[in-house]
Amino acid sequence: MVGRDERERLGRGRRARFDGYAAITVRDEASAAELAKELDARDDVETAYVEGGPTPPPVNAGDDPRSGNQGYLDAAPDGIDARWAWGATDGTGIGFVDLEQGWTLNHEDLAAAGITIISGVSQAYHGHGTAVLGEVVSVDNTKGGVGVAPGASARVVSQYRTSTSYSTAAAIISAADAMSPGDVLLLEAQTTAGGSSTSYLPVEVEQAVFDAIRDAVDAGIVVVEAAGNGGNDLDDWTDASGRHLLKVGDDDFRDSGAIMVGAASSAAPHARLSFSNHGSRIDCYAWGQNVDTTGDGWTGTSTTAYTGSFGGTSGASPIVTGAAVLLQSWRKARKGSPFSPGSVRSWLSSSLNTPSANPATDRIGVMPDLRAIFDRIEKNERFRIDGRFVYWVYILFGIINDAPGVIWVPGKGPVPVDPDWRSHAVRGRRELVAAIAKEARAFDGRLTPKQLDRIAEKAFKNLGR
């Protein structure tokens, strides 16, 4: 167990990357742009930019027809198959934090969840935050709907640090300090670049926000980030210095580690909605329309309101977040610890999941299919080879000399074996390989897994291992 002093020391160590930041307040946007340009030209300043101010959350409010149900909980290809996953987990044991600007925490379908605020002020777009929370943790009761992961422990953190100050990066840092490895942080936010108000972008385009996300991911926290509703091809977008920061494979690309989410139609096959940002950086998508949840989806504070027309990348991101929470909860219950953030992103964005209607043009990734993910993980674990039997694997695949070859690893396919495998893998154990080979010669090559196990066990026993 790590004591308080040790946690504070580790926190200060992680926080060192922010020591070089300085925030300057000026009288207006024009002055800010001029100052940023002057500072950016200095040799002793790495980067200077105008931080985006408060913007509407990434959602298209009130312009989609009401579905009247939570189809995003259904089996693939319609939804993420949360209803099936509930047979194994409901999100228990995993913390979930929603980052945005406001909520109605005493809503009738959320009050029993005991949601608390980590820091900041619940000040704006209360109905939006209420809708997001409802998608993930609506209580399993006789009112409203049910969240994707109703058993998760939920909290919130506000971008409004005080009633007059606003900072996405500071909110992320505050949340990360209060979370544990394996927890899931949802960034229900978007921003503008260079003071522009015409094109909404993912919040990580701002350097401090990117670093804050990376810091959280490095601390073991899964971060889910709304791609934003600017309708941008993120591969084409460049920052003020002309860098393609969001184009995977470009020399200037940088990976925050967050799972970035686009928005698609509620009907299968799911097509990208026109407002959704898209590109190679997007990992996953989910419903961006007709989402049935708590609140009015925008600015209301009613404790009894519901909507069936929530959407945008704001509506899609909580669905993917709920899938991440269920995956982490299931893993933790089975193995004692959750997946790393990288593993969660790999599973949720893998080809196992539901593709969009036209992947080549949609370019919003895949929608998680929890049944497919859970089944594949279990299958991989069933076929995982015990380290003690690694030697007979080499023999069975004919790698009996110094020639290169491959072994088949479940989930990975053929894995090369270098010519020096014997010197690395069987150093000091050549007699064990010989013993297994001797036992195997009694068969004609058609061996069952049980027979293989018996052969290896007998070889170990004969050698006194």
Q: What is the DSSP string of 355-424?
A: E-S-HHHH---EE--HHHHHHHHHHHHHTPPPGGGHHHHHHHTT--SSS-EEEEETTTEEEEE-TTHHHH
The Cα 171–Cα 105 span in angstroms is 18
Domains of the chain: 19-53 (no CATH), 75-383 (3.40.50.200), 390-462 (no CATH)
Give the three-class secondary structure for 433.
helix
Q: Are 374 and 334 in contact (CB under 8 A)?
A: no
Q: For helices 312-335 and 370-382, give the axis angle rounded to 10 degrees.
A: 30
Q: Which of 343, 371, 329, 287 is nearest to 85 (CA)?
A: 371
Instruction: Look at phi and psi of residue 249 and say left if phi exceeds 0, alpha if psi is from -120 to 50, else beta.
Output: left
Q: Are 116 and 178 in contact (CB under 8 A)?
A: no
- Which pTM was predicted? 0.79
Distances in whole angstroms, Cα of residue 397 to Cα of each of 199, 408, 417, 427 = 56, 9, 11, 19
User: Residue 309: its pLDDT value, please?
Assistant: 95
Amino acid residing at 29: E
Token output for 37: 């340009």
The Cα 441–Cα 99 span in angstroms is 62
Residue 449 makes CB contacts below 8 A (sequence gap 6+) with none
The residue written with tokens 């940023």 in the block is: 36
The Cα 286–Cα 319 span in angstroms is 6
Give the three-class secondary structure for 47.
coil
263: enclosing H helix or E strand: strand 259-264
The residue written with tokens 């009907």 in the block is: 267
The Cα 314–Cα 233 span in angstroms is 18
Amino acid residing at 447: L
Q: Which of 37, 55, 42, 47 is nearest to 254 (CA)?
A: 47
Give the three-class secondary structure for 116.
strand
Q: Which residues are bridge partners to 201 per DSSP?
A: 191
Dihedral of alpha carbons 442, 447, 448, 450, sign: positive
Instruction: Look at phi and psi of residue 288 and say left if phi exceeds 0, alpha if psi is from -120 to 50, else beta.
Output: alpha
Q: Are 318 and 261 in contact (CB under 8 A)?
A: no
The Cα 36–Cα 421 span in angstroms is 57
* pLDDT of the chain, 465 residues: tens digit per residue: 455 555 555 555 666 778 888 888 888 888 989 999 999 999 888 899 988 878 776 655 444 333 348 999 999 999 999 999 999 999 999 999 999 999 999 999 999 999 999 999 999 999 999 999 999 999 998 889 999 999 999 999 999 999 999 999 999 999 999 999 999 999 999 999 755 445 899 999 999 999 999 999 999 999 999 999 999 999 999 998 999 999 999 999 999 999 999 999 999 999 999 999 999 999 999 999 999 999 999 999 999 999 999 999 999 999 999 999 999 999 999 999 999 999 999 999 999 999 999 999 999 999 999 999 999 999 887 755 444 444 445 444 444 444 445 544 444 455 555 444 444 444 444 555 555 555 555 554 555 556 656 665 665 566 555
